[in-house]
């Protein structure tokens, strides 16, 4: 099945579908469990879940037979896996472009929602949850490639802490650079 990036974008930006994706990001759940959590009727979730599954945004992780009924457990954990680095070059990128673009759109949307909540929140709050910085640089293609590698190395040096310490919080960082044709 060919994945349509426009359909993926619509799904990611649809509040109901986003709630489903978020509901199953840490643990697999049945439609019944998702409906209970979201306060929706089960019958109103089958089509959206099937749509998300067809787009690759939701996966069936397990099937359990209870009497004559087979219960499917759905998960979106694969969308939240850490340390994913995509190389948008060569044959791999061409073969997997739909998935690569879908993943980028999904990750960016998550960050934009956090930024939006910061901007719409209490202005007296001492701590923000998102940061946006844009740089414009003049580099050769080789310098640009080297800079991207250096940023990755710097982030890779940071160890993920398994033990929660006071003040330590998880952060996601998205580095996206491109040739500015307007510049």
Q: What is the DSSP letter of 67?
A: T
Mean pLDDT over residues 150-162, rounded? Answer: 71
Higher-confidence residue of 99 and 137: namely 137
Task: Look at the chain and report how many structural domains it folds into.
Answer: 1
Whether 67 maps to a domain, the answer reads yes
Whether 135 maps to a domain, the answer reads no
The torsion region of residue 32 among left (phi > 0), alpha (psi -120 to 50) and beta comes to alpha
Mean pLDDT over residues 132-137, rounded? Answer: 88
pLDDT in tens, 15-71: 889 889 989 988 899 999 999 999 999 999 999 999 999 988 899 999 999 889 999
Confidence (pLDDT) at 171: 79
Whether 101 maps to a domain, the answer reads no
Whether 132 maps to a domain, the answer reads no
Per the DSSP assignment, residues forming a β-bridge with 74 are 29, 60
> Is residue 31 within 8 Å of 43, Cβ to Cβ?
no
Whether 14 maps to a domain, the answer reads yes
Confidence (pLDDT) at 51: 92
Whether 88 maps to a domain, the answer reads no
- Is pLDDT of 83 > 50? no
Which pTM was predicted?
0.52
CATH code: domain of residue 70: 1.10.10.10
% of the chain beyond a pLDDT of 70:
84
Q: What is the domain extent for residue 72?
A: 5-79
Maximum mean pLDDT: which of 35-39, 94-98, 124-128:
35-39
Whether 74 maps to a domain, the answer reads yes
> Is residue 35 within 8 Å of 16, Cβ to Cβ?
no
106 phi/psi in degrees, rounded to 5: -65, -45
Nearest 5°: the CA angle 148, 152, 158 is 155
């Amino acid at each position: 099945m060919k994945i349509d990036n426009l359909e993926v974008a619509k799904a990611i930006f649809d509040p109901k579908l986003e709630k489903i994706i978020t509901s199953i990001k840490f643990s697999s759940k049945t439609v019944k469990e998702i409906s209970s959590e979201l306060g929706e009727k089960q019958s109103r979730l089958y089509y959206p879940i099937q749509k998300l599954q067809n787009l690759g945004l939701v996966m069936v992780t397990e099937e359990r037979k209870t009497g004559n009924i087979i219960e499917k457990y759905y998960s979106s954990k694969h969308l939240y896996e850490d340390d994913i680095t995509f190389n948008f070059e060569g044959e791999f990128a061409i073969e997997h472009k739909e998935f690569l673009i879908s993943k980028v759109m999904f990750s960016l949307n998550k960050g934009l929602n956090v930024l939006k909540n910061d901007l719409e929140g209490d202005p007296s709050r001492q701590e923000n949850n998102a940061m946006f910085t844009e740089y414009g640089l003049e580099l050769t293609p080789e310098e640009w490639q080297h800079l991207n590698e250096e940023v990755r190395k710097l982030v890779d040096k940071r160890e993920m802490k398994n033990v929660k310490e006071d003040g330590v919080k998880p952060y996601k960082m998205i580095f996206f650079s491109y040739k500015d044709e307007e510049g």
